[in-house]
Amino acid sequence: MHEFTVWAPAASRVMLHLPSLDRREPMRPVADPALGQEATPETAGLWRVQVPEAGHGTDYAYALDGGEPRPDPRSAWQPEGVHKPSRVFDASLHQWGDGAWAGLDARGAVFYELHIGTFTPEGTLDSAIGRLDHLVELGVEIVELLPVAEFSGERGWGYDGVGLYAVHHAYGGPAALQRFVDAAHQKGLGVCLDAVYNHLGPDGNYLREFGPYFTDTHTTPWGDAVNLDADGALAVRAWIVDNALRWFRDFHVDCLRLDAVHALVDSSPRHILAELSDRVAALSDDLGRPLGLFAESDLNDPAMVEPVARGGRGMTGQWDDDVHHAVHSFVTGETQGYYCDFGTSAVLARVLKEAFRHAGDYSTFRGQHWGKPISADKHRGHQFVVATQNHDQVGNRATGDRPSATVSPGRLAGSAALVLTSVYTPMLFMGEEWGASTPWQFFTSFESPELAEAVRKGRRAEFGSHGWAPEEVPDPQALSTFEASKLNWSELSGPVNSGLLRWYRDLIELRRTSPDLLEDLFDSVSVSYGDAWIAMQRGSFTTVLNIGSEAAAIPVAAGSRARLTWGDVAVDELGTVVLQPDAVAVLQVS
């Protein structure tokens, strides 16, 4: 027996198609006026039917008012892609083996961001399980998966998902995600899932046929906004909140990374993020383990991580791109585009102590004053997730080139040291730990030829305006673009690569075992700098990096000794460390 339910408030009739059973069933309104049943906010627009013969593995679709059968907006399983029927998935069938997993507080944990399709040659969740030991040995604590929601085609970043309840068929489907999380937990790793609620992809998106999932009251960079505050918003909000809760409940995920929450435009009395925060907190109490919500926000507003009770959005943490921009621009010298207000050691010192470069001051890139300052009394460093690389900052470059393509191993090591000994929650991007030479490019496989060509032309036009020749910009639709983005695990045996990997492991171990480096008070950070060097002090530790063309003599605390070094470093116990160009050291006072 399976009960099928769908929200279609404007439909006058809804037919359930069951191709695997070769039958059709008319559905009835949950609140049927013909039967004298009045609609409530929870039942308005819902249609329902029970089918005794249906269950796990049954294919189905919904036809509204005689139209074409469409996939379920809440489908958990799309084995043949976004245009084909849905399939019933019984999440309770998985026999979990993670009973000993008590969860973890994700704040301060070492995150590792990866894309299932390019993490291994096979590009599946099951094959990724085979690489979890590498992450355990590295010292990672949380694996962050780029979006796995069903999207058009076989390959893509996942940010064009249209089946938000389903797990992409090419990755192995929903049962494979359960196996992955179970395996990760049994190895002591948490799992964070990237969830995209601010927009949906265009190919295979049939939501408008079902109801007012979108509104033209607000607009986003992707078109009409998801409907959070107009007519019909109650059901749309429930569709989002229920989705988030189900990842925690049915898939045992530990936290969600919420994509571009600044595009969740919501003028209702209770913002969707605040509602989500409260509901997740209640579920956390019920499950007896910590659950986290990490927001990607472009607003530079620390209210994102303030409690709902104090007027905040209640997020566990938020991404802080300003730290990435400051580190990247300092070690590469790039100051174009949104790097234009970065690049100096002074700016780097500021973000290492205060989280944001723009905290109410003028942003040249945006052409306006931007952001708000953090408060050392109200905010903690672990509420901000920082990285030297991530999918956006690498993949949204014209050729998807990593820093390893242009900067020395010493600068890679220095960037890692600044992030992993900082006051923040650090995140690595897959392959970063060994200086992977493979790019990570923008790739798609849209089934619509018109959409594929539009994306191809748009990508080349975007970077053409920055001086790139069209032939230099990889074709997103080409299989070769996807294949070039896959990690090359054989690189780990190279002398420089293996050296970087040891460096990352040693940094993470030092961080894990040193109370001073786990302290997350902003007042614990002090920074000194010169034109080409920076020194960040955290308790008894000082991290120093020299990117100049000559040796730098840097004053540090007397009695400092080297714990970790890369390059030519000499320490004077009287209080001076001399670093040759592109050398880095983590020092500790004896």
What pLDDT sits at residue 402?
Answer: 98
- Do residues 149 and 213 share a domain? yes
- Do residues 534 and 449 share a domain? no
91 domain residue, yes or no: no
What pLDDT sits at residue 372?
Answer: 98
Helix (H, G, I), strand (E, B) or coil at 5: strand
- Do residues 123 and 45 share a domain? no
543 domain residue, yes or no: yes
pLDDT at residue 465 is higher than 70: no
- Do residues 583 and 493 share a domain? no
Helix (H, G, I), strand (E, B) or coil at 558: coil
Q: pLDDT tens digits, residue range 294-312?
A: 999 999 999 999 999 999 9
Residue 185 belongs to what domain range?
111-512
Tell me the pLDDT band of 39, cut-offs 50, 70 and 90. confident
Report the alpha-carbon distance of residue 104 to residue 231 in Å, rounded. Answer: 39
pLDDT > 90 fraction of the chain, expressed in percent and rounded: 92
List the CATH number of the domain containing 577: 2.60.40.1180
57 domain residue, yes or no: yes
What pLDDT sits at residue 268?
Answer: 96
58 domain residue, yes or no: yes
Q: Which of 296, 306, 320, 519 is catalytic?
A: 296
Average pLDDT for 217-227: 89
The question of whether 3 is a catalytic residue gets the answer no
389 domain residue, yes or no: yes
What pLDDT sits at residue 38?
Answer: 80
Both structure tokens of 4: 């099928």
Residue 362 near residue 349 (C-beta atoms within 8 A):
no
Both structure tokens of 74: 């809440």
Report the alpha-carbon distance of residue 318 to residue 336 in Å, rounded. Answer: 25
76 domain residue, yes or no: no
Element (H, E) at 192: strand 190-195
100 domain residue, yes or no: no
Kindly compute the dihedral angle of the four CA atoms of residues 359, 365, 367, 373, in this order, to the nearest 10 degrees: 0
What pLDDT sits at residue 142?
Answer: 98
What pLDDT sits at residue 220?
Answer: 87
**Domain endpoint, select from 459, 488, 512:** 512
CA atoms within 13 A on the CB side of 461: 6
Q: Which amino acid is at 47?
A: W
- Do residues 47 and 155 share a domain? no
pLDDT at residue 10 is higher than 80: yes
**Domain endpoint, select from 512, 533, 550:** 512
- Do residues 534 and 495 share a domain? no
Residue 235 near residue 227 (C-beta atoms within 8 A):
no
Q: Which of 259, 275, 341, 475 is catalytic?
A: 259
Average pLDDT for 554-560: 96
Average pLDDT for 18-31: 95
**Domain endpoint, select from 447, 479, 512:** 512
Higher pLDDT among residues 563 and 220, named by residue: 563
439 domain residue, yes or no: yes
Residue 110 near residue 426 (C-beta atoms within 8 A):
yes
Q: pLDDT tens digits, residue range 394-439?
A: 999 999 999 999 999 999 999 999 999 999 999 999 999 999 999 9
Q: pLDDT tens digits, residue range 323-360?
A: 999 999 999 999 999 999 999 999 999 999 999 999 99
- Do residues 493 and 581 share a domain? no
Out of 39-48, 126-135, 525-534, least confident range: 39-48
- Do residues 371 and 260 share a domain? yes
List the CATH number of the domain containing 366: 3.20.20.80
Complete edge-to-edge strand list for the sheet that includes strand 525-529? 525-529, 533-538, 541-546, 583-589, 560-566
List the CATH number of the domain containing 44: 2.60.40.10
- Do residues 404 and 545 share a domain? no
The question of whether 550 is a catalytic residue gets the answer no
What pLDDT sits at residue 6?
Answer: 98
Residue 343 near residue 335 (C-beta atoms within 8 A):
yes
Residue 46 near residue 6 (C-beta atoms within 8 A):
yes
Read off the pTM: 0.97
Average pLDDT for 514-534: 97
- Do residues 196 and 53 share a domain? no
Residues 6+ apart with CB under 8 A from 567: 410, 413, 579, 580, 581, 582, 583, 584
Tell me the pLDDT band of 81, cut-offs 50, 70 and 90. very high
pLDDT at residue 205 is higher than 90: yes
Known binding residues for substrate are 257-262, 321-325, 391-396
Instruction: Compute the mean pLDDT over every residue in the chain, rounded to the nearest whole number.
Output: 96
- Do residues 432 and 576 share a domain? no
Tell me the pLDDT band of 464, cut-offs 50, 70 and 90. confident
Tell me the pLDDT band of 468, cut-offs 50, 70 and 90. confident
Domains in the chain: how many in total? 3
What are the helix (H) ranges across 207-338? 207-210, 233-251, 272-287, 321-332
Both structure tokens of 323: 């730290």
SS3 content of the chain, % helix, strand, coil (to 5): 35, 25, 45
Tell me the pLDDT band of 22, cut-offs 50, 70 and 90. very high
Known binding residues are 257-262, 321-325, 391-396
- Do residues 140 and 246 share a domain? yes
